[in-house]
Amino acid sequence: MEPILNKEEIARLLAAIREGKVSLDLEEDAKLTPNLECTPVDLFNLVHPDKDQFRIPNFDIILDMFCRTYSTSLTNNLQRTFSITRTSLESTEFQNYFMDNNNLGAIGIIEISPLKYGALVILDPKLSFSLIEIMLGASIELDPLHLDRNLTTIELTVLRTLFIDACKDLDKAFAQLLETNSTLIKLENNPRLVSIVEPEAEVIVGTFLVKMGDLSGEIQLVFPFATLEPLRDLLKELLNITTVTKSTWSDIIEDEIMELPAVVTARSGILDLTIAQILGLKKGDILELSYDPNSPLKVLVEDQVKFTAIPGTHNGRKAISLSGIDN
């Protein structure tokens, strides 16, 4: 509990207020206590810190899937252990993005069919030069390069394979929503030559930290908002139980069931024998079947009758021709 003032303390407090020693003005109190920093809050217009992400719900799941698949691709292709983690997901205008990021490395212009406007895959200069050194056989012990220049056309060509792999991994990430076909249209080293949407158009920028030993760098994926907007409803339903079940486990189980082998038997009749009669069978014995040669055969799938068929020959071999379905 808060301590309660006694009569003497209350009297001294009132006297100090009358003498002006204790101010009742909140602004003056704030000046007297500079260590306390306060910011006014409008409770009716609060903005969620992840407001931009909510415009494209669950898109971070797609990007995290890309992290896992692309880190595996880099590890397999370059025979070094890479890890990729998403560090941010932001929204900005296309022209502002390039104004804030003047020193870009390798820029890949990606077409994502059937989506419009495509996307950009960007490797920062430090990561670009380091990956080129690794692809050309540099030793692990060498320090990463820090070159203050643009990538040459030959260097961009060396990196082309990594961008093609990024396209494939983007398709794997989007496979949860729809089937896409991503292709690398062009590689650039000059941001002024890159234009996939209008300058004032909104873009969603995902930033990823790439690490391999002491090497670290950034990859950025830039998606025009217009590219992702048609996927909004699909992304909203991405984590729904019914959608997840339908698009994952049910499809997997259905596909696996279709590959299971089954025994199909064409049965002309049934013969009941005792164990003693079976043990007494010998070569040349004739067993009579309760079967009309003019009636169709019964075709069983495992132990269930599913079809009827007419016996005959085909290409010199015994065969049956299905004549009906037994319900």
Reported as a single tens digit per residue, the pLDDT across 155-179 is 899 999 999 999 999 999 998 888 9
Token digits of residue 100: 């804030």
Residue 256 lies in a domain: no
pLDDT for the residue 247: 52
Q: Which of the listed residues 250, 281, 313 is the one where a domain comes to its end?
A: 250
Q: Is residue 275 part of a domain?
A: yes
Q: Could you say which DSSP state residue 7 is in?
A: H
- Beta carbons within 8 Å of 246's beta carbon, 6+ residues apart: none
> Which of 205-209, 236-240, 274-278, 315-319 shows the highest mean pLDDT?
205-209
Instruction: Identify the pLDDT of residue 122.
Output: 92
More confident residue, 251 or 308: 308
Residue 271 phi, psi dihedral angles, 5° rounding: -125, 125
User: Which pair of structure tokens corresponds to residue 125?
Assistant: 């200069």
Q: Is residue 100 part of a domain?
A: yes
- pLDDT tens-digit series, residues 65-121: 999 999 999 998 888 888 999 998 989 998 888 888 777 789 999 999 998 888 999
In the chain, the largest separation of any two C-alpha atoms, in whole Å, equals 131
Per-residue pLDDT at 245:
45
Does 234 share its domain with 194? Answer: yes
SS3 letters across 142-172? CCCCCCCCCCCHHHHHHHHHHHHHHHHHHHH
What is residue 183's predicted lDDT score, i.e. its pLDDT? 93
Q: Is the pLDDT of residue 38 over 70?
A: no
What CATH number did the domain enclosing 146 receive? Answer: 3.40.1550.10
Residues 105 and 209 reside in one and the same domain: yes
Shared domain for 228 and 271, answered yes or no, is no
Task: Report the percentage of the chain scoring pLDDT > 70.
Answer: 80
Domain with 294, as residue range(s), is 264-325
User: In this structure, what CATH number is given to the domain that contains residue 275?
Assistant: 2.30.330.10
Count how many Cα atoms sit within 13 Å of the Cα of residue 48 in the half-sphere of its side chain.
6
Residues 60 and 145 in one domain: yes
Residue 59 lies in a domain: yes
Domain limit, last residue, from 205, 228, 250: 250
Residue 190 and residue 291 in one domain: no
Structural domain contains residue 199: yes
Same domain, 185 and 288: no
Average pLDDT of the residues of the chain = 81
Return the percentage of the chain with pLDDT > 90, whole number: 23
The one-letter amino acid code at 117 reads: Y
107/15 Cα distance (integer angstroms): 73
Domain match, 104 and 171 both = yes
**What pLDDT is stored for residue 140 in this prediction?**
60
Is the residue at 305 inside a domain? Answer: yes
Residues 203 and 58 in one domain: yes
Asked if residue 34 is part of any domain, the answer here is no
Residue 11 lies in a domain: no
pLDDT confidence band for 23 (50 / 70 / 90): low
pLDDT given at position 297: 84
Q: Are residues 245 and 281 in the same domain?
A: no
Q: 241 and 101 share a domain?
A: yes
For tokens 């009669």, name the residue. 277
Domain count, the chain: 2
CA 280 distance to own-chain centroid: 67
Q: Which of 250, 283, 298 delimits the end of a domain?
A: 250
Q: Is the pLDDT of residue 48 over 60?
A: no
Same domain, 271 and 162: no
Q: For residue 251, give the amino acid letter.
A: D
List residues bridging with 290 in a β-sheet. none
Same domain, 114 and 224: yes
Of 252 and 156, which is predicted with more confidence?
156
